[in-house]
Amino acid sequence: MACKLVILFFFVNLLMQIPKVRATVPAIIVFGDSTVDPGNNNQVSTVLKSNFEPYGRDYYGGQPTGRFSNGRIATDFISEALRIKPAIPAYLDPKYDIEDFATGVSFASAGTGYDNATSDVLSVIPFWKELEYYKEYQNKLRKHLGKDEANQRFSESLHLISIGTNDFLENYYIFPTRSSEYSVDEYQSFLIGIASNFIRELYKLGARKVVIGGLPPMGCLPLERTTNMFFGSDCIDEYNDVAKDFNKKLQGAVTELKQELGGIHLVMSSPYDKLMEMIRNPSHFGFEDAETACCGTGFFEMSYLCDNMNPFTCSDANKYVFWDAFHPTEKANAILADYVVKTTLAEFQ
Write the pLDDT tens digit of every residue in 269-280.
Answer: 999 999 999 999
Q: Which of 32, 21, 20 is nearest to 73 (CA)?
A: 32
For residue range 200-251, list pLDDT tens digits in order.
999 999 999 999 999 999 999 999 999 887 766 799 999 999 999 999 999 9
pLDDT (0 to 100) of residue 24: 85
Residue type, 117: A
Q: Please give the DSSP secondary-structure letter assigned to residue 255.
A: H
Domain count, the chain: 1
The confidence band for 40, taking pLDDT boundaries of 50, 70 and 90, is very high
Instruction: Give strand pairing partners of 106.
Output: 30, 90
Percent residues over pLDDT 70 in the chain: 93
Cis omega (within 30 of 0) on the bond before 38? no
Does residue 32 fall inside a structural domain? Answer: yes
Q: Give the SS3 label for residue 65.
A: coil
Tens digits of per-residue pLDDT, 281-302? Answer: 999 999 999 999 999 999 898 9
Return the CATH number at 44.
3.40.50.1110
Q: Is residue 195 part of a domain?
A: yes
83: left (phi over 0), alpha (psi -120 to 50) or beta: left
Return the H-helix or E-strand segment holding 106.
strand 104-106
Sheet holding 28-32, edge to edge: 104-106, 28-32, 158-162, 209-213, 265-269
The H or E element that residue 290 is part of is: strand 289-293
Q: What are 149-205's pLDDT values in tens digits?
A: 999 999 999 999 999 999 999 999 999 999 999 999 999 999 999 999 999 999 999
DSSP helix/strand/coil, 266: strand
Query: What confidence score (pLDDT) does residue 5 get?
Result: 44
pLDDT of residue 6: 43
Does residue 162 lie within any of the structural domains? yes
Does residue 19 form part of some domain?
no
- How many whole angstroms separate alpha carbon 339 and alpha carbon 208? 22
Does any domain span residue 91? yes
Residues 6+ apart with CB under 8 A from 155: 206, 207, 208, 209
124, amino acid identity: V
Mean pLDDT of 69-88: 98
Q: Is residue 98 part of a domain?
A: yes
Query: For residues 320 and 294, is the Cβ–Cβ distance under 8 A?
Result: yes
Give the model's pLDDT for residue 19. Answer: 44
Comparing CA positions, the residue from 349, 330, 166, 183 lying closest to residue 265 is 349
SS3 for 173-237, per residue? Answer: CCCHHHHHHCCHHHHHHHHHHHHHHHHHHHHHCCCCEEEEECCCCHHHCHHHHHHCHHHCCCCCH
221 exposure class (CB count in 10 Å sphere: 0-12, 13-18, 19+):
buried
Q: Residue 268 phi/psi, 5° resolution?
A: -105, 140
Please state, in angstroms and rounded to a whole number, the distance separating the CA atoms of residues 267 and 223. 30
Q: Is residue 3 part of a domain?
A: no
pLDDT score recorded for residue 209: 98
pLDDT band at residue 309, thresholds of 50, 70 and 90? confident
Report, as residue numbers or ranges, the catalytic residues.
Answer: 34, 324, 327
- Confidence check: pLDDT of 8 > 80: no
Which structural domain range is residue 249 located in? Answer: 25-348
The answer as to whether 229 is a domain residue is: yes
Angle at 206 between CA 216 and CA 141, to 5 degrees: 100
Model pTM? 0.92
Q: How many residues does the chain have?
A: 349
**Confidence at residue 13, expressed as pLDDT on a 0 to 100 scale:** 53
Kindly report, residue by residue over 312-331, the tens digit of the pLDDT: 999 999 999 999 999 999 99
Q: Is the pLDDT of residue 117 over 50?
A: yes
Amino acid 122 reads L
pLDDT greater at residue 26 or residue 3: 26
